[in-house]
Amino acid sequence: MEALKVGFIGAGFIAKFQATALQSVRGMDLIGVFAQKGASELAQWATARGLGECREYATIQELCDACDVVCMFAPNFVRVDLVGEVVNAVKAGAELKAVICEKPLGRTVKEARDLLQLAEEGGFPTIYFENQIHMKPIQAQLNQLLPQQQAMGPLTLARCAEEHCGPHAPWFWDPTQQGGGVLSDMGCHSIACGWYCLTPAGKPLTFLEPTEISCDTSLLKWGQPRYRERLLRDMGVDYSKTPAEDFTTGLISFVNPDTGQLSKAQFTNSWMFDKQGLRLLMEGMGPGYAFELNTLLAPLTIFIGDDAADATADAELALEKSTATRGLLTVHHNEADIYGYVDEFIDARDAIREGRAPKATWEYGLEITRLCMAGYMAAERKQTIDLTDSTIQKELETYVPLIAQGRGGEILHVG
């Protein structure tokens, strides 16, 4: 069967990570990249690794004309405009079998709805990339505990966390561009994963109905003005003017519409995790059974002493967001696989070939965006938000968090 021709819009950190994942996926060739910067380098990297005869394209129209599938890996603040260009390309004759969008779908509910409207206008199938619901350890625990779930009932409590020392790119630190802080950046992962783990086997992703959410957003690390001062200055970010939260935690309640059973998912996310590097921590509890996942418990560790540390060229070869080049280090030999990036591409490939819906569409991405926005609203108002309240539902349609407006100083302490 002929390989699907894949094009990337964007050539930054996530695009490189996704390209790494494609090395483990048969039947998809990366043949083109469009980006404001880095496109040529990523194309050369992909070609050298046998991902396809990849080249840089000067316009989105040319990229779409050459591809079967386009992946939106560009920064959050340009996605609506770029998807609009994809729609124009389709209207001009490009024949796309699907458009993939990396999380989050939108920075607000309105923006997510705008993207859905554009997809409807373009008439192309959509795929939402949320890697953590595809993680092999998550899938393994669901399969292993299926008999217990069938006999005793589904999980009723999930706790999901993603934590590291902070993003790579300057725009991620700017809440007016990114859409907020760590809740917008990583809370979407943990909310999605918690919801997914609680969902009874065989039910759709949105089967459980969210009923309420409570949330705290805090600025902890940046209350220490000397901490990472040079890093932020070099990035052109001034947190004294437009601060964003670097820690968030919250609790979402769900109801099973068939049984009335209540369940809860806790999410915790941090940009102030100064340990080995990125940690994903998930656990779930049901009646008489449980699971726990910690990605820092890796099968490989290495040790680098002080005298040898200068030879380390790239600490992130060992672990994403690695904070050290010496000592006892956690190593993941294939992060793109363990974090679910490989499997979300496999699901996308199979859905396109089989003419079926993927695991997650942009409609699902809209619901994740809605929960993130409700979390910000709960934190601002310092109260639990009733997600079943029609007034709240209406407010969320146009709601923009104060942090995303650049007004985080009104609710976050800045030292």
Q: What is the pLDDT of residue 358?
A: 98
Confidence of residue 274 (pLDDT cuts 50, 70, 90): confident
Are 227 and 137 members of one domain?
yes
Question: Two tokens at 296?
Answer: 């820092």
Confidence of residue 162 (pLDDT cuts 50, 70, 90): very high
Q: What is the CATH number of the domain that holds 220?
A: 3.30.360.10
**pLDDT tens figures, 45-100:** 999 999 999 999 999 999 999 999 999 999 999 999 999 999 999 999 999 999 99
Q: Which residue, 250, 196, 156, is CA-closest to 364?
A: 196
Q: Which residue, 139, 146, 5, is CA-closest to 70?
A: 5
Which of 97, 129, 161 is the last residue before a domain boundary? 129
Domain presence at residue 363: no
Are 68 and 142 members of one domain?
no
Question: Which whole number is the average pLDDT over 226-249?
Answer: 78
Question: Which whole number is the average pLDDT over 193-208?
Answer: 97
The secondary structure of 286-333 as a DSSP string is ETTEEEEEETTS-SEEEEE-HHHHTT-S-GGGTSTT---SSEEEEE-T
Q: What is the pLDDT of residue 312?
A: 57
The sign of the dihedral angle between the CA atoms of 281, 205, 366, 81 is positive
Q: What is the pLDDT of residue 275?
A: 81
Are 150 and 245 members of one domain?
yes
Percent of the chain scoring above 90 in pLDDT? 80
Domain count, the chain: 3
pLDDT of 223 over the 60 cut: no
Q: What is the pLDDT of residue 316?
A: 60
Are 119 and 172 members of one domain?
no
C-alpha 370/C-alpha 252 separation (Å) is 12
Domain presence at residue 350: no
pLDDT of 233 over the 80 cut: no
pLDDT of 301 over the 60 cut: yes
pTM, two decimal places: 0.93
Helix (H) or strand (E) holding 87: helix 79-91
Helix (H) or strand (E) holding 411: none
Domain presence at residue 219: yes
For the chain, give the mean pLDDT.
92
**pLDDT tens figures, 177-191:** 999 999 999 999 999
Are 79 and 190 members of one domain?
no
Q: What is the pLDDT of residue 136?
A: 96
**pLDDT tens figures, 307-343:** 676 655 565 655 566 666 767 777 778 889 999 999 9
Q: What is the pLDDT of residue 291?
A: 96
Q: What is the pLDDT of residue 303?
A: 78
Domain that holds residue 189: 133-294+369-410
Q: What is the pLDDT of residue 31?
A: 98
Q: What is the pLDDT of residue 241?
A: 82
Are 313 and 289 members of one domain?
no
Helix (H) or strand (E) holding 158: strand 157-163
Which of 103, 129, 155 is the last residue before a domain boundary? 129
Q: What is the pLDDT of residue 313?
A: 56
Confidence of residue 220 (pLDDT cuts 50, 70, 90): confident
Does 108 or 170 have the greater pLDDT score? 108
Tracing tokens 């490189």 back to the chain, one arrives at: 16
pLDDT of 149 over the 80 cut: yes
C-alpha 111/C-alpha 84 separation (Å) is 12
Confidence of residue 255 (pLDDT cuts 50, 70, 90): very high
pLDDT of 231 over the 70 cut: no
Q: What is the pLDDT of residue 180?
A: 97
Are 244 and 393 members of one domain?
yes
C-alpha 209/C-alpha 263 separation (Å) is 10
